[in-house]
Amino acid sequence: MALALRLWRSLPLGRSAAPGPRFPTGAAGSREQCVLWRLRGAEVMGNPGAFKRSLLFSALSYLGFETYQVISQAAVVHAAAKVFRVEEILEQADYLYESGETEKLYQLLSQYKESEDAELLWRLARASRDIAQLSGTSEEEKKLLVYEALEYAKRALEKDESSFAAHKWYAICISDVGDYEGIRAKIANAYKIKEHFEKAIELNPKDATAIHLMGIWCYTFAEMPWYQRRIAEMLFATPPSSTYEEALGYFHRAEQVDPNFYSKNLLLLGKTYLKLHNKKLAAFWLTKAKDYAAHTEEDKQIQTEAAQLLTGFSDKN
């Protein structure tokens, strides 16, 4: 605006102070066009007020364009900085997760619980669930964390339906909440859970965890007791069902994608072979589970269970 005012004050006040603009009469424009431009130029130059307004308008338009460019460039820089910041947080979060720093990870991600970034939100859902699983977490805190995790996973999925991890953790969290809402609710959500596990596998066929979880879904419904089947029959025209063979297929597929990625997959391979009365292969996989290097409390629990099952073999023999 200051520039526009300076231009305004510097304009000539007399009619003859500035000559009219000249235009070519050759190939670049016709004689009639040149006459027209001269007439219009004379009109403007013959009217100082009109000329001043015209020049002021041009100056303001230029200033507006320059301002727009500055704002646009600032917005791009801000967006780039924001993306860089999110990527930096994700790197820290993944490092803490791989290091088994569950509480530090949760503290880090909790600062961004209002984020709209799906990658941050599903990681926060996972961290909330991991805190709930710790032995030092009270039952009351565990319940709050389980529902909190579901909310974060749901928001992650709303922000990005193409995220395989958001589908996976949403399904896991729905299943966890079922532990507090009763067997009826758990069975009622069975198809929804399956749907999201299958979508996660479709989006990322190389994610061994999603494949493993689909195996657990099959194993759970293969061993479902009769009274739970009755509930399922009341809830669905076609109740969810599966077989140990189907579960075994998923557990093996997960192992092929990422060998020894998870002690529980090894344990469930052994337990599924036990269900299918194949003791030789059951012993093979249970031994691998028992000898698995423990990094978490869950790994230690699985080592203990595998050792007990193997001892059962020895006692019967």
Residue with tokens 């389980």: 146
When mean pLDDT is compared over 106-120, 179-193, 224-238, 288-302, the highest value belongs to 106-120
The enclosing H or E element of 242 equals: none
Q: Place domain 79-181 in its CATH homologous superfamily.
A: Tetratricopeptide repeat domain (1.25.40.10)
Q: Write out pLDDT tens, residues 59-73.
A: 555 555 555 555 555
Distance CA(261)–CA(200), nearest Å, equals: 18
Tokens of 92: 């820290």
Domain segments of the chain as ranges:
79-181
When mean pLDDT is compared over 14-23, 105-114, 306-315, the highest value belongs to 105-114
Question: Which long-range contacts (C-beta less than 8 Å, at least 24 apart) are formed by 158-164?
Answer: 159/116, 159/117, 159/118, 159/121, 160/118, 160/119, 162/203, 163/118, 163/119, 163/122, 163/203, 164/199, 164/200, 164/201, 164/203, 164/204, 164/207, 164/210
Question: In terms of Cα–Cα distance, which of 106, 140, 107, 101 is closest to 126?
Answer: 106
Give the C-alpha distances (Å, rounded to integers) separating 277 from 272, 280, 305, 307. 9, 9, 18, 18
User: What pTM did the predictor assign?
Assistant: 0.70
